[in-house]
Amino acid sequence: MNTLIRAVRAGLMSMCLVAGAANASVLIAGTRVVFPAQDGEVTVRLTNDNAHPALVEAWIDNGDPKSTPDKVNVPFLITPPLFRMEAHKDQSLRIISTPAQLPSDRESLFWLNVLEIPPKPSGEEAAGKNLLQFAIRSRLKLFYRPAHLPGDAQKAPEQVTWKAVADGQGYALEVRNPTPYHVTIVKLSLDVGGKSYSADTGMVDPLGMLHLKVKGLTAAPAAGTSVAYDIVNDYGATASFKGTVSP
């Protein structure tokens, strides 16, 4: 079966003479998955928003974007891992945890992959045409959250600290996350001398640190300089926070 899927996937990615736009028709409810360890399993809902059926394959990896279902080794099972979705129908994926030695004092990050393999065009849709088909993969963060972690995941972003550090000929913000939760920053700026400077963004690991370069800043910001940042919460929504540069 794995050999067949690999062959189908490779065939769909082969290039023909005329290319069309590739748009995912199998939609995933939410933009991230939070897996509370005490629940043992979570459910993710998929919807086929197209007028045609699709073959769907799902798997979880631990950070390799080139992962394939036959080569991953993670403490989760997905059921069903491979299925046909009829047009305008829903399907639930069950993600079940299996025994593993994961950290109990912080979240662990995995990735949920959903591969949509469209049907081969036939009849008038394909008559006399050269078509390019794509197998489209969606990839979402999956946060495995151990039971009894201290604090509140929704309040974790307000606890990060900021420090200005030299970065080549410019400056960066060193953001430290003292909480056991991941903090995903999607917008970041600071005000220096009445001017706003934007900075790189990224995800800060639990109990970790990240350097985010400030664009165009050539002088060190003073302690107390205002920092504005937006994060993505458990529900996929954006929330805004403010902080200050530490001495």
Tokens of 186: 């999607």
Question: Per-residue pLDDT tens for 164-195?
Answer: 999 988 999 999 999 999 999 999 999 998 99
Give the H/E segment covering residue 170: strand 170-176
- Does the pTM surpass 0.75? The reply is yes
CA–CA gap between residue 110 and residue 113 (Å, rounded): 10
pLDDT at 118: 83
Say if residue 138's pLDDT is above 90.
Answer: yes
* Selection from 185, 184, 176, 174 nearest residue 221 by Cα: 174
Q: What is the identity of the amino acid at 16?
A: C
Say if residue 96's pLDDT is above 60.
Answer: yes
Question: Per-residue pLDDT tens for 62-73?
Answer: 999 999 999 999
Residue 9 DSSP label = H
Please tell me the total number of residues recorded for the chain in this structure: 247
Average confidence score pLDDT of the chain: 89
Rounding to the nearest 10 degrees, give the CA dihedral for residues 115, 121, 125, 129.
100
Domains and their CATH numbers in the chain: 2-145 (2.60.40.10), 153-244 (2.60.40.10)
Average pLDDT over residues 90-115: 97
**Three-state DSSP class for 37?**
helix
Give, in degrees to the nearest 5, the angle at Cα 217 between 216 and 220.
170
CA–CA gap between residue 201 and residue 190 (Å, rounded): 13
CA–CA gap between residue 144 and residue 112 (Å, rounded): 12
35 in Cβ contact with 42 (< 8 Å): yes
Residue 234 DSSP label = T
User: Cα–chain-centroid distance for residue 201?
Assistant: 14
